[in-house]
Structure 1
């Protein structure tokens, strides 16, 4: 029996091309023991029946719920193309004997590069300066001075794998680095010269607040109105993690009132945001449609990592970066070594 692999349909453009370019799909196509196909679903919940007969799913944005698994008796792994898994019912997967993996190592550098790009873009006011050229307002450039980073402080909200990678990229800029993360590796932070502290202290001392935390019930609205009030009026907020970690309405209000200097967002509370969302009319902002890190590097590394996890399960091996290791106790996964 061939090993059946499905990929969510949002990998494809409307004309049927793989929009990401090379995602390592040849690893599946060249394996005679594997058949793969793209599902019809491109957004929302994966409907019951779409996963029937599949041994593995490689997924982007569609939600995998308990309802999605109703006919997924054979499904042994969901390999997320990325690190966020707030669109997956982890408990339901575990109960179904289905592993959930993420491409932890594949995304760290591309997301860190994206964070650095947004930090530099908002602090140097690149969007404003681009407009000066296009609007023939060269003479106004003295009105749009940027903020240098050398000697300034970056405060991380979350200092996990991506945060640590950003730290290494920021080191040559000569910035002081602080972080709030109750789960951070204290030895690693000390070695990197990152000072750990409580959230409000980190925010109060930062010239750039950089959100890289995972979205959990504990981090939802973590950066709320009270937290934003702790920030300096000259400080910038950059979010490359998940939109709901920041209270978006409170952020829009703080920007509009001039209580902070600016914000660069790759992620939003709702994606895409509605046209009347206050954040879109807030001043001193730089936005990206949850895609700043979307590069050929990310595509190939994430795709290859997800596919290798799928093939590990096919070959009886335990894959790396499993979110629900409890699932190994399920009888359907007892053969994995």
Structure 2
């Protein structure tokens, strides 16, 4: 490197008092890299401004949006390293036009998110929160009214057979469940499950787990019509992205007991309005887009993101690039030894 490689870290990693809110996120990799320096952005803003990023070669981004306006004039910027696998907060096309790579961290989230999905499966099947409330309210005898559903011999359906979906099946294998998967891009050889269409999966599954990415094609993929295909005894789990699911339609299905229950870590609008009607229902478990937040998850995500940044700093193409079209940009080619 002919000059110092500067990394900006979004300020939402910090608590209000300036300390790290998530423990060790692997920043020691940047500390120990010659010629690389990092600092936290001075302001915590929902959308990054051009004046905030113009002096950085790389950004390590948690939640703020990175838009076309963000990177306008950011001539040094070469990589936006997302802390996680979702990148709906980054303008992919704008970054490709400017020769800015976007990277994600599938290695960091694979196991933690899959564990989170199964946590919701087991909590729902055993009616954990219902029994917790009974105990606290002194309604011990009512436990007879809340028999759980054993998972052995039941059908686990996963929508989206990517990194996380495959890990869900791997972790669930000892439970002795039937595995169904729906993914138009998967092949039977890699599935490790029966590949079926969405209608079949929804109709046959006792647990439907959404593990696909949010794209224009998957927006409201699970709508009122498709919810109606589910068994009345089935549970729906979403730890992917909120808008994949029509939340209004789900609220109606849960209220009318047309499905047994749901586990939601994500919502159409985040943060969810505390007055949202879905929060009044007793057959849904909710979490604030954080059920997989563990020390394992944050260290894995952080190390993966930092490794991508260091690859670019060293002139290498990082492993988990979302917008590979950016690699053809003349400005980026000058920065990378391809």
Report the TM-score when normalising by structure 1: 0.97
Q: Does the alignment pair 1:108 with 2:107?
A: no
CA distance in 1, matches of 2:240, 2:42: 28
CA distance in 2, matches of 1:251, 1:37: 42
Count of equivalent residues: 334
CA distance in 2, matches of 1:327, 1:165: 30
CA distance in 1, matches of 2:125, 2:41: 42
Q: How does 1:159-238 map to 2 (within 5 A)?
A: 159-189=161-191, 192=192, 194-238=193-237
Judged with a 3 Å threshold, the aligned counterparts in structure 2 of structure 1 residues 266 and 43 are, in CA distance, closer, same or farther, namely farther
Structure 1, unaligned runs of 5 or more: none
Task: Determine the structure 2 residue equivalent to 1:19.
Answer: 21
CA distance in 2, matches of 1:208, 1:97: 42
CA distance in 1, matches of 2:277, 2:221: 19
Task: Determine the structure 2 residue equivalent to 1:287.
Answer: 286
**Cα shift at 1:41:** 4.2
Task: Determine the structure 2 residue equivalent to 1:336.
Answer: 337
Q: How does 1:240-259 map to 2 (within 5 A)?
A: 240-259=239-258
**Cα shift at 1:283:** 3.1
CA distance in 2, matches of 1:323, 1:336: 19
Judged with a 3 Å threshold, the aligned counterparts in structure 2 of structure 1 residues 178 and 45 are, in CA distance, closer, same or farther, namely same
Task: Determine the structure 1 residue equivalent to 2:38.
Answer: 36
CA distance in 2, matches of 1:43, 1:283: 35
CA distance in 1, matches of 2:302, 2:287: 22
Contact between 2:130 and 2:282, CA under 8 Å: does it hold in 1? no
Task: Determine the structure 1 residue equivalent to 2:295.
Answer: 296
Deviations 1:243-288 (A, max 9, x none): 0000000000000001000000010001111122221123301011
**Cα shift at 1:186:** 2.3
CA distance in 1, matches of 2:163, 2:33: 32
Task: Determine the structure 1 residue equivalent to 2:131.
Answer: 129
Contact between 2:222 and 2:246, CA under 8 Å: does it hold in 1? yes
Contact between 1:157 and 1:179, CA under 8 Å: does it hold in 2? yes
CA distance in 1, matches of 2:243, 2:304: 27
Secondary structure at the aligned position of 2:52 is classed as: coil
Judged with a 3 Å threshold, the aligned counterparts in structure 2 of structure 1 residues 114 and 43 are, in CA distance, closer, same or farther, namely farther
CA distance in 2, matches of 1:273, 1:57: 27
Deviations 1:126-170 (A, max 9, x none): 111111221222222111111111100011111111000000011
Deviations 1:206-257 (A, max 9, x none): 1001000100000000000000000000000000100000000000000000
CA distance in 2, matches of 1:49, 1:159: 40
CA distance in 2, matches of 1:41, 1:229: 46
Secondary structure at the aligned position of 1:221 is classed as: coil
CA distance in 1, matches of 2:187, 2:134: 44
CA distance in 1, matches of 2:151, 2:45: 39
Deviations 1:270-325 (A, max 9, x none): 11111222211233010111111100001111101100110100001110010011
CA distance in 2, matches of 1:43, 1:267: 21
Contact between 1:43 and 1:61, CA under 8 Å: does it hold in 2? no
Task: Determine the structure 1 residue equivalent to 2:262.
Answer: 263
Contact between 1:153 and 1:208, CA under 8 Å: does it hold in 2? yes
CA distance in 2, matches of 1:254, 1:42: 38
RMSD: 1.1
